[in-house]
Amino acid sequence: MLNLQSQTPNRKKRVIVAVGGGIAAYKVCELVSTLFKTGVEIRVILTQAAQEFITPLTLATLSRHCAYTDNDFWQPTHSRPLHIELGEWADLLVIAPLTANTLAKLASGMADNLLTNTVLASSCPVLLAPAMNTDMWSQLAVQRNWRQLLTDSRYHSMGTASGLLACDRIGAGRMAEPPEILTYIQSLLHIRGQRDLTGKGVLISAGGTREYLDPVRFIGNPATGKMGLALAQAALHRGANVTLVYCPATWDIPLGVQAIPVVSAEQMQQVMQSYLHNAEIIIMSAAVADVKPKDYSTEKLPKRSLPQALPLEPVPDIIAQLAKLKQPHQLLIGFAAQTGDIITPAMAKLHNKNLDIIVANPIDQPDSGFGSDNNQAIFLDKQGNKVEIPPCSKLEMAHYLFDFLIGKPG
């Protein structure tokens, strides 16, 4: 039995966080602190302008290592040039916030400070989290530099969010929030910067459908959509064009994901079939209801009017319909959330519904399944291959699933 986790090196991952001179620099404190708590080894670089917003002492304390500035760069206190040491050390370099000034330098290959010299002296992936005023971000010169930089496959883009900026403008230019940057970091460390789904369309369903009896009562399940969200994030970070069909959720939609909200199984079926032709990979991670109330009341039913026995009828079998419609170049992956023996019913679903892969995951294990940030599973395919993934985060699970299907026909 193959264990995909054996591909992961035992040593700690190494990340350089380079801080540019912008008000968003304060967000980097949360990022560095969280990275350390996840077991990542961190080095921090601050530009001269960054020190106007946040001190090296703060980031040194949070990273448990001295934070480097240009003063360190120009001092002959290292056995080898500091930018060479850092560049060779890093598995990943994150620039947050990326300012217009640093962007212009990187786009033209300049190296006049510790940050830019370290970038040029390294070969690891670079994650960019730009932040600037809306008018600055929209300038033709800035956008030209941005497009130019992203032609280099080393560079990965967080993009910018829209909202209220520190200058009181409302618009594009906000730096991505630390949790979103952290997720992208975790992805890049797993895939080592490779975009192995570039150009692929990935269609994902997420969450638990709701089948309403009246405007306030419904038949549902505890699914939160976190697994589907993780799949969307992982696919996006690997270069895919991602469409996420999701039921009511409390999480934010990742930048760059096309998201379509639905409520019922019927609505999900319509949307999934509408977008099926654009996808090479279809993943049904949603927990779809099996039945719905036969009758629906447009007004809230008084308690005394609730039926003693609720007449039910089946809802569409979405994945079975998708299996009938899919083309030879497409892969269809299903999920089987089970208690007790998870393999037998998963294998039956795999073959009965003509799936390419099924993910059998136990929902009766601690910190696994519905509502949890973690999961565990067994991957099964129709060729008889079986991969067991022990407990891990749902983002890791998503990447292990893509690792499993990469290289299959389609």
Q: Is residue 47 part of a domain?
A: yes
Q: How far apart are CA 350 and CA 334, in angstroms?
A: 8
Q: Is residue 312 part of a domain?
A: yes
Q: Are 61 and 174 in the same domain?
A: yes
Q: How far apart are CA 304 and CA 132, in angstroms?
A: 58
Lowest-confidence pick of 72-81, 89-98, 175-184 = 72-81
Token pair 């800035």 in the structure block, residue? 142
The proportion of the chain whose per-residue pLDDT surpasses 90, expressed as a percent, equals: 79
Q: Are 45 and 166 in the same domain?
A: yes
Ramachandran assignment for 15, one of left (phi > 0), alpha (psi -120 to 50 degrees), beta (any other): beta
Number of domains present in the structure of the chain: 2
- The residue out of 157, 191, 225 marking a domain boundary is 191
Does residue 168 have a pLDDT over 80? no
Q: Is residue 170 part of a domain?
A: yes
Average pLDDT, the chain: 92
To the question of pTM greater than 0.85 for the whole model, the response is yes
Instruction: Provide the 8-state DSSP code for 131.
Output: -
Residue 261: which of 206, 316, 219 has the closest Cα? 206
| Phi–psi pair at 242, nearest 5 degrees | -105, 130
Q: How far apart are CA 266 and CA 272, in angstroms?
A: 10
Could you tell me the end-to-end alpha-carbon distance of the chain, in angstroms, rounded to an integer?
A: 24
The proportion of the chain whose per-residue pLDDT surpasses 70, expressed as a percent, equals: 95
- The residue out of 168, 191, 214 marking a domain boundary is 191
The whole-number average pLDDT for the span 4-17 is 71
Q: Give the model's pLDDT for residue 78.
A: 63
Q: Give the model's pLDDT for residue 4.
A: 40
Residue 197: which of 409, 408, 406 has the closest Cα? 406
CATH number at residue 129: 3.40.50.1950
Q: Are 251 and 338 in the same domain?
A: yes
Q: Are 225 and 303 in the same domain?
A: yes
Q: Are 48 and 118 in the same domain?
A: yes
Lowest-confidence pick of 24-38, 290-304, 396-410 = 396-410
Q: Are 284 and 180 in the same domain?
A: no
Confidence of residue 408 (pLDDT cuts 50, 70, 90): low
Look up 167 and say whether it is catalytic: yes
CATH number at residue 304: 3.40.50.10300
The full DSSP string for 285-313 is -SB--SEEESS--SSPPPGGGS-SS--EE
**What domain range is 51 assigned to?**
4-191
Peptide bond into 302 cis (omega under 30): no
Q: Is residue 410 part of a domain?
A: no
Q: How far apart are CA 124 and CA 88, in angstroms?
A: 8
Q: Give the model's pLDDT for residue 2.
A: 34
The encoded tokens of residue 193 equal: 């910067």
Sign of dihedral through CA atoms 44, 49, 54, 55? positive
Structure confidence by residue, pLDDT tens digits, 41-72: 999 999 999 999 999 999 999 999 999 999 99
Does residue 79 have a pLDDT over 80? no
In 198-248, where does DSSP find H-type helix? 226-237
Q: Are 298 and 363 in the same domain?
A: yes
Which of residues 362 and 3 earns the better pLDDT score?
362
List strand residue ranges (DSSP E) for 7-154, in order. Answer: 14-19, 41-46, 67-68, 92-98, 126-130
Does residue 7 have a pLDDT over 70? no
- Which amino acid appears at position 256 of this protein? G
Q: Is residue 196 part of a domain?
A: no
Q: Report, in angstroms and rounded to the nearest whole number, the Rg of the chain calculated over CA atoms.
A: 24
Confidence of residue 8 (pLDDT cuts 50, 70, 90): very low
Q: Give the model's pLDDT for residue 338.
A: 85
Q: Give the model's pLDDT for residue 103.
A: 97
The whole-number average pLDDT for the span 175-182 is 94
Q: Are 186 and 219 in the same domain?
A: no
The whole-number average pLDDT for the span 272-289 is 96
Residue 50: which of 41, 42, 59 has the closest Cα? 59
Q: Give the model's pLDDT for residue 410.
A: 45
Q: Are 118 and 210 in the same domain?
A: no
Identified catalytic residue from 29, 66, 124, 167: 167
**Per mean pLDDT, which of 73-77, 109-113, 366-370 is the most reliable?**
109-113
Confidence of residue 77 (pLDDT cuts 50, 70, 90): low
Structure confidence by residue, pLDDT tens digits, 104-152: 999 999 999 999 999 999 999 999 999 998 889 999 999 999 999 999 9
Length of the chain: 410
Q: Are 137 and 206 in the same domain?
A: no
Burial grade of 313 (CB within 10 A; 0-12, 13-18, 19 or more): exposed
Q: Give the model's pLDDT for residue 407.
A: 65
Q: Are 266 and 397 in the same domain?
A: yes
Q: Is residue 122 part of a domain?
A: yes
Q: Are 254 and 280 in the same domain?
A: yes
Contacts of 307 (CB under 8 A, 6+ apart): none
